[in-house]
Amino acid sequence: MAKPTIAGNRTGRKLGQRVKNKKMKASSRQWLQRHINDPYVQRAQLEGYRARAAFKLLEIDEKHSILKGARRIIDLGAAPGSWSQIAAKVTGSTDDDTRVAAIDFLEMAPLPGVKILQLDFLDPSAPAQLIEAVGGTPDLVLSDMAAPTTGHHRTDHLRTMHLCEVAAHFAIEVLGEGGHFLAKTFQGGTERDLLNMLKRHFKQVVHVKPASSRAESVEMFLLAKHFKGRQAEPDVTEA
């Protein structure tokens, strides 16, 4: 897949624009100003992606080739849908032969070739609904889930890490052999038990931070490659 270069401003929009609405709070004005001057935002609009997050997945794939050969993909925390757009394209998914299932508690506009579930992934019925929706064994599970932020770094980290852990257990239950798992996490350390579990089930486990992830953002991505198949859990019973 071609490298997503962004060296030039290909939208025709002048960079360095300032938001002059004085009725807005300063923090809101600064966020909007950063957003409209973000070259990844501008390129996403130009290329028809729903969000700049598309380039995070494309950059990770450029280095790690997780999309190549993917036949069925599950997208967790999918809204607004840029990763699902890429997934539908690489799998050749259509409305008649759906190979991509996406879930989010937020509403998502329809996407060709994507079965969208508006549901909390932590709902007990979600895993079975996703498997039914994707129409077979997935070979890639993506998770861009993050808990709503509270402003307290430790709390936000723990809540998002919980989502990452649940997504990892789901991936291990549903992936086909050789499949991959990619999930958002936060800087501050992935829990050792989670890493150990993934290393038992995958041949390679790494942390990645694509260039399109804002430098000031604490997000990273946990990538587990080449699923070995379901492994027996260690026997922890007492002698």
Verify whether residue 3 is a known catalytic residue: no
Closest among 203, 206, 169 to 185, alpha carbons compared: 206
Which H/E stretch holds residue 63?
helix 54-64
Q: For the chain, what percentages of helix, strand and coil (3-state, to nearest 5) are there?
A: 35, 15, 50
Question: Which residues lie across from 181 on neighbouring strands?
Answer: 141, 224
Closest among 74, 77, 76, 85 to 44, alpha carbons compared: 85
Classify 191 as helix, strand or coil.
coil
CA gap 6, 47 in Å, rounded: 12
User: Quick one: how far is CA 63 from the chain centroid?
Assistant: 16
Choosing from 56, 115, 184, 225, which is the catalytic residue?
184
**120, 128 in Cβ contact below 8 A?**
no
Name the residues annotated as catalytic. Answer: 184
